[in-house]
Amino acid sequence: MLIFFLTGTLEAQNLRVGAAVRVITPNPLLPVSGGIGIPHPVTEKRGDLFARAMVFEQGTERFAIVNVDNLGWTSVLGNRSRARIKGIRPENVLIGATHTHSAPDAYGFPDASGKSYADLAYLNWCVDQIAEAVNEASANLQPATLKVAMGEAQGKIAYNYYAPALYDPRCGIIQALASSGPRAGKPIATLVNYAVHPEVLGNSRGILSPDLIGPMYQKIESTIGGVALFMNGAQGGMVTADTRLTYVKEGEQQKEANTWEECIRIGELLAVEAMRIVDKAPVLKNPTIYCTSRKLEFPIDSEIMRYILQKSPLKYEVTKENFVTTQLNLLNIGPAQILTVPGEALPNVGYYVKRNMHTKMPFLFGLTNDAFGYMLAKVDFNSFKRYDYITQTSLGEMTAEIYMEQAIKLVKESPKPQDQ
């Protein structure tokens, strides 16, 4: 249901881009959450958790893209950061989770008695760190050019656990280059958009970690410089890291490499592929950018999801009984068009939306602005035994249907991105 619409167009003026990073690793370490249930204690960390921000400015308008190393980042927390961010309209701040399964609980999942184990002091600190990262990125704004590219990432990176070939291998990259000064032509920031669950380690090995995304950051930054960001895609049901050591028939036991060394292999391979894909892309000296948003309303049909939203100490904002409101963004950045997804869309939902976008470079930022569980088409909802879990942890049968309708409507009402 459409309840609000706001648009802002950015004229073809000189582009400026800034980036900044904040470490959000808890000290001392906190238990980690991979989903519904009590978080698991940890004894060590492998890599730091980060909040990473990239700010775009053209004319009088600005927007920010932020990624947070966490399973999900709700609008309750995101809105607190937005209130602390200067010079950017709140609806122009996109905050997405990388979806690592080895970070502290940011949902406030309640147990059967209603008790939550989330560390609210830690989450409040993260809220401040995110705002600081965006404010610093705004302070770092400098004249920039862009390289935008999309191609299939090659190698053993991801697969669909439910149906191995049912995933989107496309990897989209948006890279901002300094256009003047001593670092002219060098990256300010490189954003990678790819659909994969960063759950190589998971939440039961006693390790806090950004998972495979950490090595991806490090590989890009140590190779070409600048700040690396990661925005996940339509990775629901169940696009995960390809850690398989054996390839077996469904139902047979499969051996996997769930180690930090495997995080390094996959993360560095994704980084190398992203850099390969963007390397030969043309430099866009004056790309047009555009940002718009609208509010969406979803019914909460799932008893499990209703219980989580009602009992979480984060105090989710529910506009009316058994409905939740979230934000949908559309961005045009040069030839790329981007839509946000407030949860974990299944690959077929992602493919459908992408083929209805006005671009040959369609980006989906999954788990962005909210993280309301799985989003599967109504024909799939509760239709297969394999989908029992994702059905139970979806808001309801109509979530993806409402999202697809409104996302495509927003595409049709918005200007097309720059000619490719």
What local confidence, expressed as pLDDT, does residue 420 receive? 57
Contact partners, residue 114, CB within 8 Å, separation at least 6: 311
Question: In the predicted model, what is the mean pLDDT of the chain?
Answer: 94
Residue 405 confidence (pLDDT) above 80: yes
274-328 pLDDT, tens digit per residue, is 999 999 999 999 899 999 999 999 999 999 999 998 999 998 877 788 899 999 9
Mean pLDDT of 348-377: 97
Pairwise CA distance, residues 98 & 75, whole Å? 15
Q: Can you tell me the mean pLDDT for 378-386?
A: 92
pTM of the model: 0.95
- Tokens 């602390």 -> residue: 84
pLDDT in tens, 133-185: 999 999 999 999 999 999 999 999 999 999 999 999 999 999 999 999 889 99
Position 50, amino acid: F
φ/ψ of 388, rounded to 5, equals -60, -50
Q: pLDDT value at position 17?
A: 98
- Of residues 280, 143, 302, 275, the one with CA closest to residue 219: 275
pLDDT at 188 over 50: yes
Strand partners, 61: 58
Nearest in space to 22 (alpha carbons), one of 55, 53, 51, 45: 51
Q: Is the pLDDT of residue 3 over 60?
A: no
Q: State the pLDDT confidence band at 60, using cuts at 50, 70 and 90.
A: confident
pLDDT tens column, 113-126:
999 999 999 999 99
Contact 71, 103 (CB under 8 A): yes
pLDDT at 321: 82
Q: Is the peptide bond before 28 cis (omega within 30 degrees of 0)?
A: yes
Q: Summarize pLDDT for 81-106 with one digit per residue, the tens.
A: 999 999 999 999 999 999 999 999 99
Using 50, 70 and 90 to split pLDDT, how confident is the model at 227?
Answer: very high
- Computed over its alpha carbons, how large is the radius of gyration of the chain? 20
Residue 8 has a pLDDT of 42
Mean pLDDT of 241-251: 87
Give the pLDDT of residue 108: 95
Question: Is residue 351 scored above 70 in pLDDT?
Answer: yes
